[in-house]
Amino acid sequence: MKKGFKVGIGIFIAVCLISSIVFSTIINISASPSGSFTPVHSYSFNSDSGSTVIDSITSGGINGTATAGFTTITEGSDTFRRFNGTSNYISFGNQVLPKGKKSIEFRFRRNGLPPNNITVLDNAIDPSKNGTGINIIADSGAVDFTSSDASGTFRFNVYANQKNVCDGQWHHILCTWDGSTDPNGVKVYIDDMTTPVATGTAKSYETADASYNLLIGRRTLAAIEYLSGDLDYINIYNTEVIGTPKNLNAVSGPNKITLTWDPVSGAQSYKVYRAASSNSYSSTPYVSNISPTLINGKVTFEDSAVSSGTTYYYVVAAMNKYGDETANSDEISAAPNSPETNFIVTATVPGTLASWPDNYGVFFTAPFPCEIVSVREVHASAAVDSGNVVLDIEKLTGSQAPNSGVSLLDTAIDLKNAANTVQAPSLNSNTANIQLGAGDRLCLKDVGVLSGLNGVSITIELKRK
């Protein structure tokens, strides 16, 4: 029976560099999404005075009033309020939440599902009223972000049932609406501020103020659904808050440096800042309006205005649809290489293949444009079947699946060739077939019965274009 190469099981990939192509990654672990976003109202509970809940925003701040019987708890340097679920809430003489686009950020903790829905904040969640609210759902611990428009229906109701926030742990939660009726303009983030756990689309714009003043910890239309749990802070923004870019990566190539990073939900464009030394960035970006278009799941920017041997430092920031900018990502540095840098990719299949399933395996994805220079193959023991037993190497582009690409070789590799003898097959005479674009892949393709074959090693030399 024919047995095939399955790269995902037992193939070990090694990339050996002839010159200094450098892959470097820094992870952004910032917890807060606010970055350069400034709240219009901020309630930290750290400096409250008696029953007065202080808005730390000095210009236009709106203080609230807490009911009696609150428990205030300090853990380390952090102070939070514990809501008892029966009488604790904070009232305001103002709607507080901005009209239209808005973001509400808070930290919440509760151990165990509540016996009924509980309210984080509300200024009239009712189909006959105009307002916004955030609830925690009793049977799931899910965050429910809702807006009503006084037309008899809800403007939006985004139910984030993918995560239970009543598990005894602190959860960082961000509910945001971009103020539009664009698809997925409503988002709920929990702990990961770059990727929402739930999204929705508003049915209408918000053109009227909320019907009632804001309450934190209780419904406005009835004294029900009191909050039970710990609330650390609430920040309110008059824009769509988006996350700071993470996983900034730099790849050095010949006279260029390629940056990649994870996409940020809600980002309309990105800025790159470059400096000659660490953390010495100008307030003016090096490049603006970088498209959020993805290549292999990453946002990509190629900097070709570089000099070989010089180290450059980079950070990136994301922009929302209103031009508001996030904080900078973590820093990455890289130095470009000299042109025509070659590197080696090796795929090794150790051991017998007698029990391997039929499969073809991708073993290399090009991070940048490059060209095949040579291919070498050697095996520890040869195949013994009487028929042809050969190995080909395919180039896959776009969405091509294995066994549908083009061959790198003019003639396939003979796996019945003498053991421990290096083979150097001729490359495809069509030059275009041995050139790889960024994202193109290489995979192995075998034909024949692999009985007796053992210890296959393929070495491919590539040249950066």
Domain range annotation of the chain = 12-18+341-464, 23-31+242-334, 41-237
pLDDT at 22 over 80: no
For 41-237, CATH gives: 2.60.120.200
Residue with tokens 């509400």, as numbered in its chain: 104
Q: Hey, which CATH number is domain 23-31+242-334, 3.30.1180.20, 3.40.50.720, 3.50.50.60, 2.60.40.10?
A: 2.60.40.10
Name the residue with tokens 């209408």. Answer: 204
Give the residue among 212, 193, 300, 221 at the shortest CA–CA distance from 256: 300
- Residue bearing the bigger pLDDT, 215 or 465: 215
Same fold, 12-18+341-464 and 23-31+242-334: no
Nearest to 348 by CA among 464, 459, 269, 217: 459
Top pLDDT among 17 and 233 is at 233
Tell me: pLDDT of 234 over 80: yes
Question: What pLDDT digit, counting tens, does each position of 328-350 carry?
Answer: 999 999 998 876 668 888 876 65
Domain 12-18+341-464 has CATH 2.60.120.340: yes
Q: What is the pLDDT of residue 345?
A: 84
State how far the Cα of 172 lies from the Cα of 170, in Å rounded to an integer.
Answer: 7
Taking CA 430 as the corner, what is the angle to CA 427 and CA 434, rounded to the nearest 5 degrees?
55
What is the phi/psi pair of residue 428, to 5°?
-55, 130
CA distance to 402, 417, 446, per residue, from 383 (Å): 23, 8, 12
Bigger pLDDT: 464 vs 327: 327
- Count of helix runs (H) and strand runs (E) in the chain: 0, 35
112 versus 16: the higher-pLDDT residue is 112
Summarised one tens digit per residue, pLDDT across range 261-293 is 999 999 999 999 999 999 999 999 999 999 998
Q: Which of 98-107, 279-288, 357-366 has the lowest mean pLDDT?
A: 357-366
Share the mean pLDDT of the chain.
Answer: 86
Q: What percentage of the chain has pLDDT greater than the value 90?
A: 63
Element (H, E) at 190: strand 186-190
- At residue 28, does pLDDT exceed 50? no
CA gap 297, 246 in Å, rounded: 13
- Asked if residue 324 lies in contact with residue 345, where contact means CB atoms within 8 angstroms, the answer is no
CA separation for the pair 295, 306 (Å, rounded): 22
